């Protein structure tokens, strides 16, 4: 079973860049695709994007201009970069495995990313 | 952009059947998934490909999807099922979530 652990700075200033890393363990990265999903406090889930082990990506159109995802299979890590952040980007960010059926099977515990000066 | 609509809240008595709907244009032509989220926890997949249950999910959870509506049904609802539920589908390589439904078991 896959285990996912998010890490990164918890606090970022407005207009700066949020950088998060997800470390994968428990199974081969080649068996899955990967996504980032976020959830503002008290609100619903928002899909950020997905990445395949080949590096191919799809992003949420509403965030596409500010998002970059990458994968490093040698380190078993997936990365998320969100640029030009505002307070609206404050949320819990989840690293999630995406199965071939299109479902989000395994979720990390989530990491709170706060945008504040 | 594609939208999925869920009722904000549903209430059910213990032991009764709860039904949570998710509506979207021609949703029946896509696969729907459902996730359960309890306070302070990460979401958990409970239904995928409209009707399938992952290993470890109780049989009381079932799903259907036809026309414009997908439905999550919980039979013999238990107090532990009190949670938020989110539907999800794919549209043009974009994952879309419903706004979520708070299921209250009382």
- The backbone region for B8, taken as left when phi is positive above 0, alpha when psi lies in -120 to 50, beta otherwise, is alpha
Query: Which of A47, A99, A107 has its CB closest to that of B42?
Result: A107
Query: Which of A58, A103, A108 has its CB closest to that of B48?
Result: A103
Tokens found for residue A50: 């997905």
Asked if B96 reaches chain A (Cβ–Cβ under 8 Å), the answer is yes
In contact, A3 and A70? CB cutoff 8 Å: no
Please report which helix (H) or strand (E) contains residue B105, including its range.
Answer: strand B101-105
* Model confidence band, residue A31 (pLDDT cutoffs 50, 70, 90): confident
Q: Is residue A10 predicted with pLDDT exceeding 90?
A: no
CB contact under 8 A, B44 and A107: yes
Q: Is residue A37 predicted with pLDDT exceeding 80?
A: yes
Give me the average pLDDT of each 10-residue run along chain B (106 residues). Answer: 97 98 97 98 98 98 98 98 98 96 97
**What is residue A32's predicted lDDT score, i.e. its pLDDT?**
82
The string of pLDDT tens digits covering residues A54-108 is: 889 999 999 999 999 999 989 999 999 999 999 999 999 999 999 999 999 999 9
**What is residue A28's predicted lDDT score, i.e. its pLDDT?**
77
């Amino acid at each position: 079973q896959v285990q996912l652990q998010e890490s990164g700075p918890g606090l970022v200033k407005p207009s700066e860049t949020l950088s998060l890393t997800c470390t994968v363990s428990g199974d081969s990265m080649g068996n899955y695709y990967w996504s980032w999903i976020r959830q503002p406090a008290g609100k619903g889930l928002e899909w950020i994007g997905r990445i395949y082990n080949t590096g191919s990506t799809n992003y949420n159109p509403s965030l596409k201009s500010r998002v970059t995802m990458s994968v490093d299979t040698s380190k078993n890590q997936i990365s998320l970069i969100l640029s030009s952040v505002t307070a609206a980007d404050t949320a819990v960010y989840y690293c999630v495995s995406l199965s071939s059926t299109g479902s989000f099977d395994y979720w990390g515990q989530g990491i709170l990313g706060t945008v504040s000066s | 952009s594609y939208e999925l609509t869920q009722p904000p809240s549903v209430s059910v008595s213990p032991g009764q059947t709860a039904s949570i709907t998710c509506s979207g244009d021609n949703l029946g032509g896509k696969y729907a998934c459902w996730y359960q989220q309890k306070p302070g926890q990460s979401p958990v997949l409970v239904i995928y490909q409209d009707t399938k249950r992952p290993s470890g999910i109780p049989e009381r959870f079932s799903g259907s999807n036809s026309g414009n509506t997908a439905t999550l049904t919980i039979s013999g609802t238990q107090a532990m099922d009190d949670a938020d539920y989110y539907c999800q589908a794919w549209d043009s390589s974009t994952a879309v979530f419903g706004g979520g439904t708070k299921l209250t078991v009382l």
